[in-house]
Chains A and B, each alone.
Chain A
């Protein structure tokens, strides 16, 4: 398929463990975004990558959250020392320079 893909689709982890979430954007899309959606809530911006520019990390909720984008394509969102409040659906989106963001199916993270 040509859409945004994310893995894993579901992740259950114990409190205090680290997790890595992966996003494969649409080929050729220069911009990549991470959002978080908690139960019953809208989408919360986390971080944004545009080409080779420094990422916009203004939405990361704490220093336990980090993300990288390798080779301008695949991105990994890492959450260290997970807490129960980190439980949410983590959504990745990509876009061309100017246009609509296309979302992946999300990773549902459950911290027990």
Chain B
């Protein structure tokens, strides 16, 4: 089937290790950020979000860090599992339901 992101940056991680996926966003006025996971042949799946009044938010095995000074967003996945293999996109938004601007994506490959 069709593969998502054939020419994307790839991060290879050993199973059980922690993964860090980085994203630089473009608009200093963006105040809402989302990480999505997309597996081949599927739509993007919401993972975690963060608003600009926070610099860290934790979910189950995932943590998002926001550095507004350098317009940088990161997604940390603890104890990476084979099921985490996918393309990960960050997305930024400005004040509500405006169209999200998506980054290019990073392919995470988990080595068992």
Residues of chain A having any CB pair with chain B under 8 Å? 4, 31, 33, 35, 37, 39-43, 45, 48, 50, 56, 58-59, 89, 91, 93, 95, 97-106, 108
- The yes or no answer to B61 lying at the interface (CB within 8 A) is no
Tell me the bound Cα distance from A33 to B43 in angstroms: 13
Chain A proximity mask over B87-101: 1 for CB below 8 Å, otherwise 0: 001010000111111
Cross-chain contact of A95 among B7, B97, B101 (Cβ < 8 A):
B97
Interface-central residue, B6, B36, B100, B105, by most chain A CB under 10 Å: B100
Query: Which B residues, 50 to 86, have Cβ-Cβ distances below 8 Å to chain A?
Result: none
Chain B residues whose C-beta falls within 8 Å of the C-beta of A103 in the assembled complex: 36, 43-46
Chain B residues whose C-beta falls within 8 Å of the C-beta of A37 in the assembled complex: 4
Chain B residues whose C-beta falls within 8 Å of the C-beta of A108 in the assembled complex: 2
B89 lies within 8 A of A43 (CB): yes
- The yes or no answer to B110 lying at the interface (CB within 8 A) is no
Chain B residues whose C-beta falls within 8 Å of the C-beta of A31 in the assembled complex: 97
B97 lies within 8 A of A40 (CB): no
- The yes or no answer to B49 lying at the interface (CB within 8 A) is yes
Given that A42-B105, A105-B42, A106-B43 are known contacts, is A33 also in contact with B7, CB under 8 Å in the complex?
no
Chain B residues whose C-beta falls within 8 Å of the C-beta of A97 in the assembled complex: 96-97
How many chain B residues touch A (CB < 8 A): the figure is: 27
Smallest Cβ-Cβ distance to B6: which chain A residue: A40
Tell me the bound Cα distance from A97 to B98 in angstroms: 10
Interface-central residue, A41, A58, A91, by most chain B CB under 10 Å: A41
- The yes or no answer to B25 lying at the interface (CB within 8 A) is no
Interface-central residue, B7, B43, B49, B98, by most chain A CB under 10 Å: B43
Given that A103-B43, A103-B45, A108-B2 are known contacts, is A42 also in contact with B104, CB under 8 Å in the complex?
yes
B96 lies within 8 A of A105 (CB): no
Tell me the bound Cα distance from A93 to B46 in angstroms: 11
Tell me the bound Cα distance from A30 to B80 in angstroms: 35
Cross-chain contact of B102 among A4, A42, A56, A98 (Cβ < 8 A):
A42
A91 lies within 8 A of B43 (CB): yes
Tell me the bound Cα distance from A31 to B98 in angstroms: 10
